[in-house]
Amino acid sequence: MSIGSPNNITQAATRDIVGPLLELTDVRTHFRTPRGLVRAVDGVSFTLDRGRSLGIVGESGSGKTILSRSIMGLLPTKGTERSGSIKFAGGEIGDKSRKQMRHVWGKEMAMIFQDPMTSLNPLMKIGNQIAEPLRIHLGMSRGDAMATARRLLQDVRIPEPERRLEQYPHEMSGGMRQRVMIAIAMACGPTALFADEPTTALDVTVQAQILDLLGEQRRDRNMSLVLVTHDLGVVAGHTDEIAVMYGGKLVEKAPTKRLFAAMKMPYTEGLLASIPKLEQPSHSRLNVIPGRPPDLVHPPKGCRFAPRCPYASAKCIEEEPPLTPAADDPSHSFACWYPVGSPEYHEARERIAATAGVN
């Protein structure tokens, strides 16, 4: 259990970073199965600066979790094909093995999982679980590690940290456990934090607290945050930018405000429509996007969303739209032939309204 010699990757993060912290170019993650190649992530590119936060949004099956795990390199080696370039703090990590990535995990990059009930070791005291990465990566003594763990518990606003250190996960509530997970992720001061549906398993009241805590920690520690979720509402107030994924691809990416003000993809529109709104009477029907996510072995030829898109035309089914910047705002890019607001879009809407009226 050696600490492992610091290599290029780990050193990179400690020096001043020039350029983006995270730079993805055409990242692909495919799984080999007897049925064929499952294209879980199929050509994703984006950059993320240090201290900024990015929300990755999509339905289950859109590849968002696999994408976050691809970046971290937390994937099984058997049957997985990865390609493209992932640069972290200027160094290429896309081709690193799990063994090499071990020194990055927990130290430079950390991850928070969805279900706090199953993500902590049930047989290990909280204190030891927080201290573990400290001792491994920073070579701290037991005493130092425990003192740091205590401070971390304080940071994530857990009352009576001294007593909690000696407790087991089952003695805590879900929200408390998620705080512990954040403390673990924060332990070695990573520069990038991946949160995979961090609030999905929690009560609504606790959700907001956890999201606020994440945002606060990000600002205090100058971390980059990648927040993966299926819920546009979650990312709305908590990330600088939003990337929408569908069928293994990015279909729209924009600064948060801009996205909500001028979304271009009908898919994003659908996602937004599916958030229950407070002003709606309770029990009103939720809007859902009809249909199922695309088959990732044999994806549709044209736009992957076309089969479910209410505004799709022949071109959408035939040709795949590229991810292109919007004319009026280069920070906003989307992949759609007839984006929301275009003449064709209005035409299609009117057509739909007309048929609905006839019925």
Interface residue list for other proteins (CB under 8 A): 1, 31-35, 38, 40, 60-66, 69, 72, 74-76, 78-80, 98-99, 102-107, 110-111, 113-115, 118-124, 132-133, 136-137, 168, 170-171, 181, 184, 188, 196-197, 292, 295-297
Q: Which is nearer to other proteins, 246 or 311 (CB)?
A: 246
What is the nearest approach in angstroms of other proteins to the Cβ of residue 131? 11
Altogether, the residues listed in the chain come to a count of: 359
**Which is nearer to other proteins, 188 or 213 (by Cβ)?**
188
Give the shortest CB-171-to-other proteins separation in angstroms. 8
What DSSP assignment string belongs to 20-65? -SEEEEEEEEEEEETTEEEEEEEEEEEEE-TT-EEEEE--TTSSHH
Which residue number, 246 or 345, has a Cβ lying nearer to other proteins?
Answer: 246
Calpha distance 34→41 (Å, rounded): 18
Q: Where are the beta strands (DSSP E) in 247-332?
A: 249-255, 324-325
Q: Please tell me the distance from the alpha carbon of residue 305 to that of residue 338, in angstroms, as a whole number.
A: 12
Kindly tell me which of 15 and 99 has the beta carbon lying closer to other proteins.
Answer: 99
Comparing CB distances to other proteins, the nearer of 33 and 280 is 33
**Exposed, middle or buried, 320 (CB in 10 Å: 0-12/13-18/19+)?**
middle
Name the nearest CA neighbour of 342 among 329, 326, 354, 353.
326
Per the CB < 8 A criterion, the answer to whether 57 and 235 are in contact is yes
CB of 95 to other proteins, least distance (A): 19
Of residues 177 and 264, the one with the C-beta less far from other proteins = 177
Question: Which is nearer to other proteins, 223 or 340 (by Cβ)?
Answer: 223
Quote the least distance from Cβ 289 to other proteins, whole Å.
15
* Closest distance to other proteins from the beta carbon of 113 (Å): 5
Pick 72 or 348: Cβ nearer other proteins: 72
Can you give the C-alpha Rg of the chain in angstroms?
A: 22
Closest CA to 147 of 135, 75, 83, 137: 135
Nearest approach in angstroms of CB 79 to other proteins is: 3
Query: Least CB distance from residue 2 to other proteins, whole Å?
Result: 8
Q: Which amino acid is at 132?
A: E
The residue among 177 and 332 lying less far from other proteins, judged by its C-beta, is 177
Buried/exposed 175-195: b ≥16 CB within 10 Å, e otherwise: bbbbbbbbbbbbbbebbbbbb
Measured between alpha carbons, how far is 54 from 254 in angstroms, rounded to an integer?
10
State the minimum distance, in angstroms, from the CB of residue 97 to other proteins: 11
Shortest distance, position 168 Cβ to other proteins, whole Å: 5
User: What is the number of other CB atoms lying within 10 angstroms of the CB of residue 155?
Assistant: 18
Phi, psi of 118 (to 5 degrees): -110, 0
- Cα Dmax for the chain: 75
